[in-house]
């Protein structure tokens, strides 16, 4: 089960850019979110995925508040990793890397038909954890993927990532500025600066 905040505390401008790109059907199909560890890259990605999947629901993503509706069917399916159009990969606790078998299971997922002809979204949390074999298996899919598949890769900027993986994606660097930090501390942690 995934655990993240229902409120997006930062990156509002980038989030709105992604929404606008989606609305005009220009959203890149391979996105690399890069930044320091703990800066909310995965939370940002999960918020955007919730936006994408809940667009046609009555309990859709609240764009004015950048928050997820906890009653959303998509939100609950994503959290339980049971959404038919969503696939999540991260390094398993007992492993050193994301291994090639995890990528092979993702390939099986991509070969199945999509529910309601919506995009299939693959979120890879920890692109730096791909080993050579898993990265090569992923590369083939990144290169041959069609517009109906969206790959979002999360990368800790302090760890190396294969240049071949980076070059297949459109990179966005996420980092906090002072107003973001001030807002997060005051709103989330109840600390007044």
pLDDT at residue 185 above 60?
A: no
- What CA–CA distance (Å, rounded) separates 52 from 159? 29
For residue 47 the two structure tokens come to 């918020």
Pairing type for strands 30-35 and 149-156 reads parallel
Pick 176 or 22 by higher pLDDT. 22
Q: Please state, for a pLDDT cut of 70, what percent of the chain lies above it.
A: 91
Is the C-alpha dihedral spanning 172, 169, 43, 99 positive or negative? negative
Dihedral angle computed from the Cα positions of residues 168, 38, 26 and 29, in that order, rounded to the nearest 10 degrees: 40
The tens digit of pLDDT for each residue in 15-47 reads: 999 999 999 999 999 999 999 988 889 999 999
The CA-based diameter of the chain, rounded to the nearest angstrom, is 51
pLDDT of residue 85: 95
């Amino acid at each position: 089960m995934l655990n993240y905040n229902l409120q997006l505390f930062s990156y509002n401008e980038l989030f709105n850019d992604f929404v606008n790109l989606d609305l005009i059907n220009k959203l890149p199909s391979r996105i690399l979110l890069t930044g320091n560890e703990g800066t909310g890259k995965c939370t940002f990605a999960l918020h955007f995925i919730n936006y994408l999947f809940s667009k046609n629901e009555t309990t859709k993503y609240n764009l004015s508040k950048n928050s997820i509706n906890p009653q959303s069917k998509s939100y609950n399916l994503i959290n339980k990793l049971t959404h038919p159009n969503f696939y999540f990969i991260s390094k398993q606790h007992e492993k050193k890397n994301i291994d090639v078998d995890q990528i092979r299971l993702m390939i099986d997922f991509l070969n199945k038909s999509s529910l309601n002809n919506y995009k299939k979204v693959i979120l890879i949390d920890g692109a730096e954890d791909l080993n050579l074999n898993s990265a090569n298996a992923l590369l083939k899919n990144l290169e041959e993927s069609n517009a109906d598949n969206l790959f979002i890769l999360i990368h800790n900027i302090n760890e190396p990532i294969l240049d071949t993986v980076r070059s297949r994606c459109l990179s966005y660097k996420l980092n906090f500025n002072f107003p973001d930090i001030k807002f997060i501390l005051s709103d989330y942690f109840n600390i007044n600066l």
